[in-house]
């Protein structure tokens, strides 16, 4: 049985920060639904190993190593991909970082690095991708936000600020580009077991708190994000624009 609305066959997806964690799970999920995926990371060997892992699952994948925090590198990489690999139909802006410290002692250089990685990179990659998409009159852009776009916890105020910015940047991108045939949306994951969260996963006190705080009563598995990204990347979401989809086990719905 096939479901044409969710079929991504013949489409090409660039997933930033997809050598591991959420990004790699999303890339694999897109490949399983027919997309050809481009794995991105700063480390060329890790990116190629991640692409090879998808090919071993019978998916179509290549790697493209470039630094998403470097605007010039992004422009050059997108130009190369469009000319030599093929048009980008789907862009997943997943690259991100976290740094935990009380706000009163938070280093200025880490503030700048967080915003460059979590926010500026989305603009650096999306602008050249969108310019090509606009010329074709179609395209899907999905930004990875966070429940921290809506909530705050101690010691992550700058991260929370970046994810709030991602939410509103998504709205702005949709507002500017919907008229050109683009859909721009965001996914807001809750707490998932990823390398970024490993310190929290390994903390019994935090894990117990999270399980009690989350209506679903557990951490999320990165595979549980695939359905959301396939929906937003496919024709099933053709009139969904500027939306942030929470995938959080109910944590933002409950006090």
| CA 235 and chain centroid, separation | 19
Q: Is residue 251 part of a domain?
A: no
Q: What would the pLDDT profile of 95-118 be if each residue is shown by its tens digit?
A: 999 999 999 999 999 999 999 999
Q: Is residue 254 part of a domain?
A: no
Q: Is residue 39 part of a domain?
A: yes
Cα gap 98→207, rounded to integer Å: 18
Of the given ranges (59-63, 194-198, 221-225, 226-230), which has the lowest mean pLDDT?
Answer: 194-198
Cα gap 158→147, rounded to integer Å: 14
Task: Based on the residue annotation, tell me whether 159 is a catalytic residue of this protein.
Answer: yes
Residue corresponding to tokens 């991640």: 50
Q: Is residue 177 part of a domain?
A: yes
Cα gap 224→231, rounded to integer Å: 12
Residue corresponding to tokens 């019994």: 204
Q: Tell whether the model's pLDDT for residue 1 goes beyond 80.
A: no
Q: Is residue 125 part of a domain?
A: yes
Range of the domain at 136: 4-246
Q: Is residue 185 part of a domain?
A: yes
Q: Is residue 255 part of a domain?
A: no
| pTM summary value | 0.96
Which of the four pLDDT bands, split at 50, 70 and 90, describes residue 3?
confident
Q: Is residue 142 part of a domain?
A: yes
Domain CATH number, residue 76: 3.40.50.720
Question: How many domains is the chain built from?
Answer: 1
Q: Tell whether the model's pLDDT for residue 23 goes beyond 90.
A: yes
34, 9 Cβ separation under 8 angstroms:
yes
């Amino acid at each position: 049985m096939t479901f044409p609305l969710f079929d991504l066959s013949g489409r090409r997806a660039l997933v930033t920060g997809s050598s591991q964690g959420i990004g790699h799970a999303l890339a694999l999920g897109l490949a399983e639904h027919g997309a050809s995926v481009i794995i991105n990371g700063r480390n060329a060997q890790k990116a190629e190993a991640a692409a090879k892992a998808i090919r071993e699952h019978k998916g179509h994948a290549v790697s493209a190593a470039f630094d998403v925090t470097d605007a010039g590198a992004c422009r050059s990489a997108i130009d190369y991909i469009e000319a030599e690999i093929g048009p980008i139909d789907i862009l997943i802006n997943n690259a991100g970082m976290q740094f935990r410290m009380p706000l009163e002692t938070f280093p200025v250089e880490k503030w700048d690095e967080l915003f460059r990685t979590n926010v500026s990179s989305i603009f650096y990659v999306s602008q050249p991708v969108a310019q090509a998409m606009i010329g074709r009159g179609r395209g899907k852009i999905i930004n990875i936000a966070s429940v921290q776009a809506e909530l705050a916890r101690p010691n992550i105020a700058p991260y929370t600020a970046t994810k709030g910015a991602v939410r509103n940047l998504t709205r702005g991108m949709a507002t500017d580009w919907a008229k050109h045939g683009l859909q721009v949306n965001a996914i807001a994951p809750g707490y998932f077991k990823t390398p970024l969260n490993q310190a929290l996963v390994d903390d019994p006190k935090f894990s117990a708190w999270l399980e009690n705080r989350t209506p679903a009563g557990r951490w999320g598995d990165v595979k549980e994000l695939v359905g959301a990204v396939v929906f937003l990347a496919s024709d099933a979401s053709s009139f969904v624009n500027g939306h942030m989809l929470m995938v959080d086990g109910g944590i933002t719905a409950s006090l």
